[in-house]
Amino acid sequence: MIALPSIAFGGFSGSAKGVTARQVGGRSILSLKAYPTGYATASQLVRRSALSKISKAYKNLTAEEQKTWENLAETVSGKSVFGQKAKLSGSNLFVKLNSNRAYVGEAQLLSSAPANLVAIPTVEFTDYCISENIILFTGVPDPEDELLLVAKMSNGQSRGVSNGWDKTVIISPDKVPDWGDIDLTEAFQNVMGTSPVNGQKYFVEMYWIDPATGFTGVPVKVSRICQDGSAHTGRALAKRTTFKNSDIVDDDSKFITDMDVEFAPGSTIVTADIKFDATKHDVQEALCNITKEAFDRTGKNFTSVMLGRSNANKGYMPHFFTMYTYAWGREYQFKCAKRGGMWGKIGEVFGTSLTFEFIN
């Protein structure tokens, strides 16, 4: 039964569709069930599910293991409270570092505290853009250690909001720079279910995390109204043109087994790392069909020359290849045609070269 709010509830008590009625002192009291206004991201769900397990795990540590956490906690401060640094207990530090590690997929708990504090750098970048088409940070240096970048973003806020950091959620816990770029476009879309909207304001927080210890760096925070052009130079930022494994069509012409091809922005330089297995192919070439979307990225066919090698079991034989894309009817092909050297059906194409020809 659904109870409609009314001054004449009589002796009704119970719940229906989020409305609860109860009798208190002879009066009917109505209350509505509270629902969270936000939503949980995948990384938040991971942390929530792991938090209970991690909290209970501390009690199962040996006295010696707990002592290592207490000793480390004496040198670590938590977030400031009323202007003073909060002190962490050994159990708090155990939960904090292990839950941080759970963010980035580290399932094994640290039973003993890290031997030393780990100095984590701050995320640096030269420019960034938040537009309807792309969320991109450029000029991000590779960290010296094997660190991962955690990115948090808010959904769209009004222009007048000056502090929206409490509305940020983790959209990606494990980014690494790709030629100096951190591309958050797809991560934002996957978590928020939409793209940024022009005129709305977005808050971004990024920091490095050491997956081995769970220590994190000081977050860097920026906010920007969604618009075309970068924040510092105003120029348009775009993704680099690439061909990846996800672009390969899985059919009988799939003789390229691994593909990572990338064009440097603003130039004709192309870098390739390709592995092929042409055992069932009668032509001295490595090829695969690619999607039309991938084919259209260059805007036209291209041709380049790359080095390669095959016959690993015989100490390798060198080759050079012509690498190009080609439209064949309704099929779109990516080819590496052998132009010199002794042919071997299993090998690789690699290196950096110039794209010397674009053909409409």
Q: Which two tokens stand for residue 287?
A: 């090829």
The one-digit pLDDT tens for each residue of the chain (360 residues) are 343 443 334 444 555 545 565 655 555 555 555 444 444 555 555 555 677 788 889 899 999 999 999 998 888 766 544 455 667 889 999 998 998 888 888 888 999 999 877 788 999 999 999 999 999 999 999 988 889 999 999 999 999 999 998 999 999 988 888 878 999 999 999 999 999 999 999 999 999 999 999 999 999 999 999 999 888 888 878 778 889 999 999 999 999 999 999 888 767 889 999 999 999 999 999 999 999 989 988 766 789 999 999 988 888 899 999 999 988 888 899 999 999 988 899 999 999 999 876 554
Residues 6+ apart with CB under 8 A from 73: 87, 88, 89, 90, 92, 93
Q: Are 239 and 183 in contact (CB under 8 A)?
A: yes
Q: Are 150 and 102 in contact (CB under 8 A)?
A: no
Q: Are 286 and 273 in contact (CB under 8 A)?
A: no
Taking the C-alpha atoms of residue 188 and residue 184, their distance in angstroms, rounded to an integer, is 6
**What is the sign of the dihedral through the CA atoms of 200, 136, 300 and 266?**
positive
Size (the chain), residues:
360
Report CA dihedral (93, 94, 97, 98) to the nearest 10 degrees: -160
Taking the C-alpha atoms of residue 231 and residue 207, their distance in angstroms, rounded to an integer, is 19
Q: Are 252 and 282 in contact (CB under 8 A)?
A: no
